[in-house]
Structure 1
Amino acid sequence: MADLIINEDVTFQNGFKSRTFIQKVIFVKHVTNVRINASLQSPDREMAATYKRRFFVKKFRATIAILALAILLTASPAQAQTSDTAVHAILFYSPNCGHCHYVITETFPPLFEKYGDQLQIVGVDITQPDGQTLFLAALEKFGYEQGGVPFLVVGDVYLIGSVDIPEQFPILIETYLAQGGVDWPDIPGLRETLGIPATQSPQTGPEPAAATQTSSPPPAALPNLTLTDNATWREKFVRDPAGNSLAVLTLLFMLAAVFWSVVEFGKKKKLKSPIKWSWDIPILCLMGFGVAGYLAYVETAHVTAVCGPVGDCNTVQQSAYARLFGILPIGVLGVAGYIAIAAAWLTARLTKGQAASWAALALLAFSGFGTLFSIYLTFLEPFVIGATCAWCLTSAFLITVIMILSIRPAKFAMEKLKLRRARFQ
Structure 2
Amino acid sequence: MAPAITLAAETPTLSAANTGFMLICSALVMLMTPGLAFFYGGMVRVKSTLNMLMMSFISLGIVTVLWVLYGFSLAFGTDSGGVIGWNSDWVGLSGIGLTELWDGTTIPLFVFLVFQMMFAVLTPALISGALADRVKFTAWALFVALWVTVVYFPVAHWVWGSGGWAFELGVIDFAGGTAVHINAGAAALGVILVIGRRIGFKKDPMRPHSLPLVMLGAALLWFGWFGFNAGSWLGNDDGVGALMFVNTQVATGAAVLGWLAYEKIRHGAFTTLGAASGAVSGLVAITPAGGAVSPLGALAVGAVAGVLCAMAVGLKYRFGYDDSLDVVGVHLVGGILGSLLVGFFATGKGQSDVAGLFYGGGLDQFWKQCAGVAGVLAYSLVVSAVLAFLLDRTIGMRVSGDDEVAGIDRAEHAETAYDFSGGGGGAARTAATAPAAPAESKKVDA
TM-score, with normalisation over the residues of structure 1?
Answer: 0.24
Q: Which has the higher strand share?
A: 1
TM-score, with normalisation over the residues of structure 2?
Answer: 0.23
Q: Which has the higher helix share?
A: 2
Larger Rg: 1
User: Using CA pairs below 8 Å that are at least 6 residues apart, which structure has the higher relative contact order?
Assistant: 2
